[in-house]
Amino acid sequence: MDMGLGGKVAVITGGSIGIGLAVAKGLAAEGAHIFLVARDAARLEAARADVAASAKVRVAALACDVATAEGCAAAVAAVEKEFGGADILLNNAGTGSNETIMEAPDSKWQYYWDLHVMAATRLARGLVPSMKARGGGVILNNASICAAQPLWYEPIYNVTKAALVMLSKTMATEFIKDNIRVNAINPGFVLTPDWIKTAKQLTADSGGDWKGYIDNLAKENAPIARFASPEEIADFFVFLCSARASYSVGSTYFVDGGMLKTV
């Protein structure tokens, strides 16, 4: 199947590890040039080299914080300088939280709002003009199953990811006139290095069976009874970025092994 991704420029936030890195490799394999964004410069450069070694495409990166207006502006300027604009934007940078509504300070709410909602808004504002000039584009927002089915211990994550899903819907309505398709994806459990680190920490005092912890979590929550690999999730992202998904606009797709408990 020709995905129509050859020569496109894809900007991926949080592209240095996990789902973002897997999507970067998936898009590069289809011939797209890649621009990666994350904060940790050393890890980002390792990812940039890794993607560049995996396909014959141009791969550039900028270390910056997309939870700030300055970081988003720097990313947009660097994309303009390196590639003259973008065709695809994947808003993927994000992270889980752990708090109660009664105890979390306003500053924590503000940080996650900036990271999950304002980053997507600011980067879209910066990159949509070049997408428009290039004849259209794709924006994909990586939310979470928690946007619809909350985990009790992370209210701020649940709320800001739900806001990102609504942002996607409203972006889609506003941008489709310029042939820019916007969609959101709600993944379930995806076995990224961060999950492995968390599982190791949580089992350190009880024998260190982190794999058993991961297996049990999956069996308790997802009918498929396992985590996804970043690569199998990435395939779905690549499809939605491709010309083959030309009628997908303003939708939210669950990729969760059956974890969502409603229709």
Active site residue 157: yes
Q: Which residue's CB is nearer to ligand NDP, number 56 or number 107?
A: 107
Tokens 């940080």 correspond to 111
Alpha carbons 171 and 44: distance in angstroms, whole number = 28
Residues 64-93 that bind ligand NDP (CB under 6 A): 65-67, 92-93
One-letter amino acid for residue 21 of the chain: L
Least separation in angstroms between residue 48's CB and ligand NDP is 12
Interface characters, 172-201, with ligand NDP (x: CB under 6 A): ---------------x-xx-xxxx------
Least separation in angstroms between residue 93's CB and ligand NDP is 4
C-alpha radius of gyration, the chain, whole number: 18
* 158 counts as binding ligand NDP under rule CB under 6 A: no
Residues 200-229 that bind ligand NDP (CB under 6 A): none
**Contact predicate 175/189, CB 8 Å:** no
Least separation in angstroms between residue 251's CB and ligand NDP is 17
Interface characters, 7-46, with ligand NDP (x: CB under 6 A): ------xx-xxxxx----------------xxxx--x---
Q: Which residue's CB is nearer to ligand NDP, number 55 or number 66?
A: 66
Q: Where are the beta strands (DSSP E) in the chain?
A: 9-13, 33-38, 59-63, 88-91, 137-142, 180-187, 252-255
Q: Which residue's CB is nearer to ligand NDP, number 128 or number 190?
A: 190
Residue 153's φ and ψ, nearest 5 degrees, are -85, 0
CA distances from 36 to 33, 159, 242, 256 (A): 10, 26, 18, 25
Q: Which residue's CB is nearer to ligand NDP, number 20 or number 137?
A: 20
Q: Which residue's CB is nearer to ligand NDP, number 14 or number 155?
A: 14
Q: Please identify which of the residues 112, 157, 247, 253 carries the catalytic annotation.
A: 157
* 235 counts as binding ligand NDP under rule CB under 6 A: no
Give the strand order in the sheet containing 9-13: 59-63, 33-38, 9-13, 88-91, 137-142, 180-187, 252-255
* 144 counts as binding ligand NDP under rule CB under 6 A: yes
Tokens 């259209």 correspond to 136
One-letter amino acid for residue 173 of the chain: T
Alpha carbons 197 and 210: distance in angstroms, whole number = 9
- Catalytic residue list: 157
Q: Which residues bind ligand NDP (CB under 6 A)?
A: 13-14, 16-20, 37-40, 43, 65-67, 92-95, 115, 142, 144, 187, 189-190, 192-195
